[in-house]
Amino acid sequence: GLAGEITATIQEEALYYQEAPINRVTGFDVPYPLYALEDYYLPEDTRIEDAIRETCGV
What CATH code is carried by the domain that includes residue 37? 3.40.50.920
What pLDDT is recorded for position 17?
86
Convert the pLDDT of each residue in 1-56 to its tens digit.
888 898 889 888 988 888 888 888 888 888 887 888 888 888 889 988 998 898 88
Contact between 23 and 53 (Cβ < 8 Å): no
Q: Which residues of 7-24 are buried (b: 16+ CB within 10 A; e: fewer)?
A: eeeeeeeeeeeeeeeeee
Contact between 22 and 3 (Cβ < 8 Å): no
What pLDDT is recorded for position 49?
92
Number of domains in the chain: 1
* Domain interval for residue 40: 2-56
What is the model's pTM? 0.59
